[in-house]
Amino acid sequence: MIAKFKNRVDFSGLVSYANDIKSDEKRGRLLSYQGVCVVSNETIADSFNTHLRRPDSRGRVHHIGQPVKHVSISFSPEDAHLFPDNEDGDRYMAQLVDEWLRGMGITNAQYIVARHFDKTHPHCHLVFSRIDLDGNIISAFNERISSAKVCKEIKLRYGLTFGNTTGEKVNRDRLRPIQQLRFDVKSAAIVAANCSTSWAEFQHSLEAHGIEAYFIINSSTGEIRGIAFAKDGCRFAGSKLSKQKLSYGKLVAKFGELPNVGVNVLFTPSRYHRINSEEGMGKLTAPYQDSSKGVGVLQTSSRNEPVKGKGVYKTESPFEGVLPVSTPAEPTEVSMIPLSIILDLLTGPAVVQFSGGGGTTNDLDWNDERRRRKEAEENRDIHKPFKRRR
């Protein structure tokens, strides 16, 4: 049992869709209702629209931009035998929807519940007004979290089937392209984690499926904060794919903890070498460090653009750069390091320290540093607000 929420503006179209008795495919059947006239779909929509102008106990009329709430309540195909196409199946489904409404605290509202038969799984559509029978607004605060809790209680109470977490029964044809890619990455990463006994085997298994693993590392402490998986230009957080199997903590418990990978990379960021933190991803803007400065650094400039979606980021380059333990300009700066590079660092030195004269590895010489301090001293009072003398 799962409930999906959508907000709408108009009742007429949604009522006609939910209670579509003319369609041979949907075969809409009205299961229950409250506070509406069910002579026809037009009278149902008029009942909803008329009640929107009802004042509350203080005489106020509430105006909501999207007063229509559409909830699609679906059940597992394995529970189809509990909802036969007869009066008993309709009554049982209406009972579960009524318990869901009471669990959500929606007991004093106009609503209709209509059952459809156009899918392989049993489901129904709930349409209700966000203005209750007393003229008050029905709050939508944390409705999805509350719905998940109520659905879980109902499934435990009646022994309904829980959704599978392994993804074995997912209908890929109904997924969007980015969702299909996310599903493929998750499935391949779980299989690789189950059949591997070390980080090296895990990396080889991921490479066989065209997936690159990245570690999110705190630039100030060198601590690994998480893991992400990239494929076809998209990167997904491991904890978002599967907290039980693909989070960094679970992988460390199975493969062992990696040593501090940042201690071998000697690079000091300055104002021209920053690792910006945007939307939780490291963005390398520093140019390549010349070996004449006394240090060689593995890095490749890249450009990242976040895309819409939970736990997914768009990238044009599979290699973000190897970043060190250093003092960043801001405490929230992070870096992304591929797992393959970390394994290379552990098997062999990836950073070469060049012998040279004394001094610092900073790219600014003595005069540049003095000039920067002088400019900061001159511009110190520019942004201070003007105070009128009395």
pLDDT of residue 389: 66
Q: What is the C-alpha separation between 43 and 135, in angstroms, rounded?
A: 20
Closest CA to 100 of 148, 68, 133, 136: 148
Whether 147 has a pLDDT exceeding 90, the answer reads yes
Whether 98 has a pLDDT exceeding 90, the answer reads yes
pLDDT of residue 23: 80
Confidence of residue 181 (pLDDT cuts 50, 70, 90): very high
Whether 283 has a pLDDT exceeding 90, the answer reads no
Mean pLDDT (the chain) is 76
pLDDT of residue 367: 61
Structure token digits, residue 235: 């990167």
Residue 196 C-alpha from the chain's centroid: 27
pLDDT of residue 282: 35
Phi, psi of 100 (to 5 degrees): -65, -40
CATH of range 2-158; options 3.40.50, 3.30.110, 3.30.70, 3.30.930: 3.30.930
- Per-residue pLDDT tens over the stretch 321-365: 333 333 333 444 677 888 888 787 776 654 444 444 555 555 555
Closest CA to 31 of 3, 60, 73, 77: 73
Predicted TM-score (pTM) of the model is: 0.56
Whether 44 has a pLDDT exceeding 80, the answer reads yes
83 versus 387: which is more confidently predicted?
83
pLDDT of residue 341: 83
Decide if 232 contacts 181 (C-beta within 8 A): yes
Whether 21 has a pLDDT exceeding 90, the answer reads no
Whether 227 has a pLDDT exceeding 60, the answer reads yes
Decide if 109 contacts 35 (C-beta within 8 A): yes
Any idea where the domains of the chain sit in the sequence? 2-158, 190-377
227 versus 304: which is more confidently predicted?
227
Percent of the chain with pLDDT over 70: 71
What's the one-letter identity of residue 46?
Answer: D
pLDDT of residue 73: 95
Q: What is the 3-state secondary structure (H, E, C) of the chain?
A: CEEEEEEECCHHHHHHHHCCCCCCCCCCEEEEEECCCCCCHHHHHHHHHHHCCCCCCCCCCCCCCCCEEEEEEECCHHHHHHCCCCHHHHHHHHHHHHHHHHHCCCCCCCEEEEEECCCCCCEEEEEEECECCCCCECCCCCHHHHHHHHHHHHHHHHCCCCCCCCCCCCCHHHCCHHHHHHHHHHHHHHHHHHHCCCHHHHHHHHHHCCCEEEEEEECCCCCEEEEEEEECCEEEEHHHHCCCCCCHHHHHHHHCCCCCCCCCCCCCCCCCCCEEEECCEEEECCCCCCHHHCECCCCCCCCEECCCCCCEEEECCCCCCCCCCCCCCCCCCEEEEEHHHHHHHHHCCCCCECCCCCCCCCCCCHHHHHHHHHHHHHCCCCCCCCCCCC
pLDDT of residue 222: 74
pLDDT of residue 333: 66
For the beta sheet containing 312-315, the strands, ordered from the edge strand earlier in sequence to the opposite edge, are 304-305, 312-315, 234-237, 224-231, 212-218, 334-338
Q: What is the C-alpha separation between 143 and 190, in angstroms, rounded?
A: 31
pLDDT of residue 25: 82
356 versus 10: which is more confidently predicted?
10
Listed range (88-92, 135-139, 209-213, 304-308) with the worst mean pLDDT:
304-308
Q: What is the C-alpha separation between 371 and 39, in angstroms, rounded?
A: 83
Cα angle, residue 150 at apex, residues 149 and 155 outer, rounded to 5°: 100
| Section 75-95 average pLDDT | 93
